[in-house]
Amino acid sequence: MNISDFDFHLPPELIAQAPLADRAACRLLVVDRRGQAPLEHRVFSDVVDLLAPGSLLVLNETRVIPARLAARRDSGGKAEVLLVRPLDEARWEALVNAGGRLRAPGEALTLLEAGSGAATDVRLALDEALGGGRYVVRFPPGSASLEVAERLGRMPLPPYIKRPAVGPEPGDREAYQTVFARVPGAIAAPTAGLHFTPALLAALEAKGVEVTRVVLHVGLGTFCPVRVERVEDHVMHAERYEVPAATRERLAAARARGGKVVACGTTVVRALEAYARSGAPEGETDLFLTPGCEFRLVDALITNFHLPRSTLLLLVSAFSSRETILGAYAEAVARGYRFFSYGDAMLLR
């Protein structure tokens, strides 16, 4: 299978640069995953009408951390640190971008204030080079890394969303976070969940749609690009997930009553399908879902529009088919849908 078969043309002006004022007001393209029914053009708030009573909606309650840190080398050069995942209380795996070769172990970076660019007293030690721009960075003894990130970091918006290199992020700290985010650890938002509001969730539950939660901390596995031509040669990075006991009970009950399991986002799909395959309710998963894979727990999927040649496009194509998904994307482009993180949504059922 070639990654070039999962390419499509997207006019740059369709890449959403900002969220809508009303999260639930985005457009929703309803797609028959088997390609046997016409596409429907709706708005996201219509999910209340589209999900049947007795369905189980599964959300990812990971919370995005302000993981992008500005830094300065002792030589005076600038650097940027993107925290990827914690290794222990003091050390993180991180992507570090600097103007020149870094020394690891041995070099340290001084973190800067977001906005002003003033130096702080927080220094990150580079303990180990992992390759591909990844390093093990160590926070100073006694410092709480998440607290440092909250104080000095910026939200890790994808590079196709253009913001000033430094300075305030009006609204992004709130907008690039689901309303149900609870467990800190993600370095990108589970974007399908961005469209839900408390009122919309309450309306679904009032209708008889049950809502439950998992955690998958979005990391390199989700957004790392496919750089090989043969899809089978791509190696997924592992991401941490948890399917709590209450959710496992609700999944079993939904199955017993014949209710559909609706995954809100590709990260929920990966968490549920990792659990279904391994039997482990928590751990790390490098599950790579591609066309031809069997889906064991998920019956319907709410998702955004994804980048060409990405693992996420492969996943939704696996859940439906390449032809159906690329046809739906072509229709979305023709009708001016907004793409990617702050864009519009699809319901595959």
Q: Which residue range is the domain that position 236 belongs to? A: 3-64+176-348
Q: Is residue 166 part of a domain?
A: no
Percentage of the chain exceeding pLDDT 90: 89
Q: 209 and 245 in one domain?
A: yes
Q: How far is CA 123 from CA 70, 111, 265, 291, in A?
A: 11, 6, 36, 45
pLDDT band at 117; cut points 50, 70, 90: confident
In this structure, the strands spanning 119-131 and 108-112 are antiparallel
Instruction: Report the domain count for the chain.
Output: 2
Q: How confident is the model at residue 190, as a pLDDT?
A: 97
Q: 184 and 126 in one domain?
A: no
Average the pLDDT over 204-214 and give the result: 98
Q: 215 and 96 in one domain?
A: no
Q: How far is CA 124 from CA 78, 97, 166, in A?
A: 14, 14, 19
- Count of C-beta atoms within a 10 Å radius of residue 258: 7
The CATH number given to whatever domain includes residue 341 is 3.40.1780.10
What does the pLDDT look like over 279-306, one tens digit per residue?
999 999 999 999 999 999 999 999 999 9
What's the chain's length in residues?
Answer: 349
What does residue 147 show for φ and ψ, rounded to 5 degrees? -65, -40
pLDDT band at 176; cut points 50, 70, 90: very high
Q: Residue 327, SS3?
A: helix
Q: 72 and 196 in one domain?
A: no
In this structure, the strands spanning 27-31 and 345-348 are parallel
Residue 168 confidence (pLDDT) above 80: no
Q: How confident is the model at residue 93, as a pLDDT?
A: 95
| Mean predicted lDDT score pLDDT of the chain | 95
Q: 327 and 279 in one domain?
A: yes
Q: 211 and 283 in one domain?
A: yes
Residue 18 confidence (pLDDT) above 90: yes
Q: Residue 111, SS3?
A: strand
Q: 110 and 249 in one domain?
A: no
Q: Is residue 160 part of a domain?
A: no
Q: 231 and 303 in one domain?
A: yes
Q: Is residue 164 part of a domain?
A: no
Residue 167 confidence (pLDDT) above 60: no
- Count of C-beta atoms within a 10 Å radius of residue 334: 8
Please report the DSSP string for 180-246 in residue order. T--EEEESS--GGGGG--HHHHHHHHHHT-EEEEEEE---HHHH----SSBGGG--PPPEEEE--HH
Q: 192 and 133 in one domain?
A: no
What does the pLDDT look like over 239-266, one tens digit per residue?
999 999 999 999 999 999 999 999 999 9
Q: How confident is the model at residue 24, as a pLDDT?
A: 97
Average the pLDDT over 102-130 and give the result: 92
